[in-house]
């Protein structure tokens, strides 16, 4: 559209690109639409319940919960049932297995006892008594992973809600562009018809007719571009809602997002740093890195295990409790030298901690920058909205006056066309500023980390 602001085009292009990344395919399960104009709140709830990326993020949370549950096994004993069949003529094996059977023949020649068979069945129990605290650290790391997964799921929801709001209002904006373009085409076409009649009567110059025809062609081109913009934006929104592409979607225009925002940027900073999922993830990354350093240092400590074994032996499955056997042992294993691997693991863990700390500061700075830009965008949209309202009123009055003067022969066709184009641009700017203000408000909520909570459905 010739009169369309370039900023709107760039913003829409970036939004559509994000939608393509998040939703490369449409869902086979179409979301149910209400039988009334779809409100932005309803669109958000549909996305939260059908979006594929949210479902994948929720699966990651469940996987992290299962991982945390697995760490409980580190503090519990293991129990193994075993059975073994052994045959041979090794003197040592003959001696030990026959004795365990309580069946060693008197006068056995230990150098050449002959062949033997042995069936052994039993149970082994093991439990770790000390591992340098690594099991506790593993549990804490699993807890950190769960918090990180939950934060990443929140980040995904925050992004999806933000995209729904942007696309929803962009569709409304594009729909108004279409209406403005259609009215512009109708106005200029009607004027061309009137001037054509006057031209036949000799009251209008041929150059005026040509100028009007050029303006009609430009207005029709703007209408084609506006309709294409509307269709493209609508397709992006339906894809985000897991709907099949459609030619139109009845959207409610009286949408007010329930966003209560601080008045100033500085009032929102603390809340943003405490609630943004990205910040939570960065903090958990630092915590996990510190745990990794402790776990690497724990490799210098000994490992103490307790194991017990109860079993029965026989050469023909004739087991008897009176001939049972058991052993119990406490073992200590202490690696005194491992080729400097432990030291290198500590160095790696500390480097990862440094990276995590740097990443946390980077995320903090990005959040503050996004929040500041969101407040600036809201301020800009609010100011543009006030200016646009005045411009529309002035442009409308100017067009009425110029049209009368032009029809009376006091103004040229060029002046008339300039006034008509100025009114169209003013109306487009008003529509852009109106919806940009709503988008800017939602972006502040997103930058603060509270956007997804406003429409989060209770599970």
In whole angstroms, give the CA distance from residue 110 to residue 112.
5
**What is the four-CA torsion angle of 274, 277, 278, 281, rounded to 10 degrees?**
90
pLDDT of residue 330 exceeding 90 = yes
User: Residue 31: what are its φ and ψ, rounded to 5°?
Assistant: -70, 150
In whole angstroms, give the CA distance from residue 312 to residue 12.
76
In whole angstroms, give the CA distance from residue 234 to residue 245.
8
Average pLDDT, the chain: 85
Domains and CATH numbers, the chain: 6-72+134-296+339-455 (1.20.1600.10), 77-131+301-333 (2.20.200.10)
- pTM (two decimals): 0.72
Which of 42, 5, 420 lies closest to 229, judged by CA?
5
In whole angstroms, give the CA distance from residue 66 to residue 337.
35
pLDDT confidence band for 203 (50 / 70 / 90):
low
pLDDT of residue 31 exceeding 80 = no
pLDDT, residue 132, reads 86
pLDDT confidence band for 28 (50 / 70 / 90):
very low
pLDDT, residue 261, reads 77
Which of 271, 241, 281, 282 lies closest to 446, judged by CA?
271
Token pair listed for 329: 């042992």
Cα angle vertex 353, ends 347, 355, to 5°? 105
Segment 336-344 mean pLDDT: 85
pLDDT in tens, 287-305: 999 999 999 999 889 999 9
Give the sign of the dihedral formed by CA 339, CA 340, CA 344, CA 346.
positive
pLDDT of residue 412 exceeding 90 = no
Segment 256-282 mean pLDDT: 82
In whole angstroms, give the CA distance from residue 149 to residue 281.
8
Of 33-37, 112-116, 316-320, give the lowest mean pLDDT range.
33-37
B/e letters for 124-156, b = 16+ CB within 10 Å, e = fewer, are eeeebeebbebbbbbbbbbbbbbbbbbbbbbbb
Chain centroid to CA 32? 23
pLDDT, residue 255, reads 67
Segment 64-69 mean pLDDT: 92
Q: State how beta strands 303-314 and 78-88 pair.
A: unpaired
In whole angstroms, give the CA distance from residue 142 to residue 135.
11
């Amino acid at each position: 559209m010739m009169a369309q602001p370039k900023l709107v085009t760039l913003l829409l292009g970036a939004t559509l690109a994000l939608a393509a990344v998040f939703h490369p395919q449409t869902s086979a399960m179409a979301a149910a639409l209400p039988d009334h104009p779809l409100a932005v709140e309803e669109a958000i709830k549909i996305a939260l319940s059908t979006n594929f990326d949210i479902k994948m993020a929720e699966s990651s949370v469940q996987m992290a919960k299962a991982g945390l549950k697995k760490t409980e096994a580190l503090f519990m004993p293991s129990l193994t049932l075993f059975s073994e069949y052994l045959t041979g003529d090794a003197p040592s094996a003959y001696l030990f297995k026959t004795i365990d059977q309580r069946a060693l023949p008197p006068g056995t020649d230990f150098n050449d006892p002959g062949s033997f068979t042995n069936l052994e069945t039993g149970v082994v129990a093991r439990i770790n008594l000390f591992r340098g605290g690594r099991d506790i650290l593993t549990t804490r790391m699993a807890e950190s992973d769960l918090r990180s997964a939950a934060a990443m799921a929140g980040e995904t929801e925050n992004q999806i809600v933000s995209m729904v709001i942007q696309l929803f209002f962009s569709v409304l904006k594009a729909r108004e562009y279409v209406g403005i373009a259609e009215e512009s085409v109708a106005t200029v076409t009607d004027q061309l018809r009137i001037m054509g009649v006057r031209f036949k009567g000799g009251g209008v110059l041929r150059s005026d007719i040509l100028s009007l025809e050029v303006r009609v062609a430009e207005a029709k081109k703007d209408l084609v571009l506006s309709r294409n913009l509307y269709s493209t934006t609508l397709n992006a929104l339906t894809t985000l809602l897991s709907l099949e592409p459609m030619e139109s979607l009845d959207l409610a225009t009286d949408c007010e997002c329930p966003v209560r925002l601080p008045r100033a940027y500085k009032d929102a900073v603390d809340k943003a740093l405490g609630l943004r999922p990205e910040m939570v993830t960065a903090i958990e990354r630092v915590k996990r890195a510190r745990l990794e350093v402790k776990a690497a240092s724990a490799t210098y400590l000994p490992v103490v295990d307790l194991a017990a074994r109860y079993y029965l032996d026989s050469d023909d499955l004739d087991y008897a409790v009176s001939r049972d056997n058991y052993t119990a042992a406490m073992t200590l294993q202490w690696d005194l030298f491992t080729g400097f691997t432990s030291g290198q693991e500590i160095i790696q863990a500390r480097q990862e901690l440094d990276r995590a700390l740097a990443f946390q500061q980077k995320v903090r700075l990005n959040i503050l920058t996004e929040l500041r830009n969101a407040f600036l965008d809201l301020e800009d949209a609010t100011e543009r909205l006030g200016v646009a309202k005045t411009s529309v009123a002035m442009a409308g009055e100017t067009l009425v006056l110029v049209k009368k003067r032009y029809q009376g022969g006091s103004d040229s066709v060029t002046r008339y066309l300039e006034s008509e184009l100025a009114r169209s641009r003013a109306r487009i700017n008003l529509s852009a500023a109106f919806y940009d203000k709503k988008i800017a408000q939602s972006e502040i909520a997103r930058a603060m980390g509270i956007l997804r909570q406003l429409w989060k459905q209770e599970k």
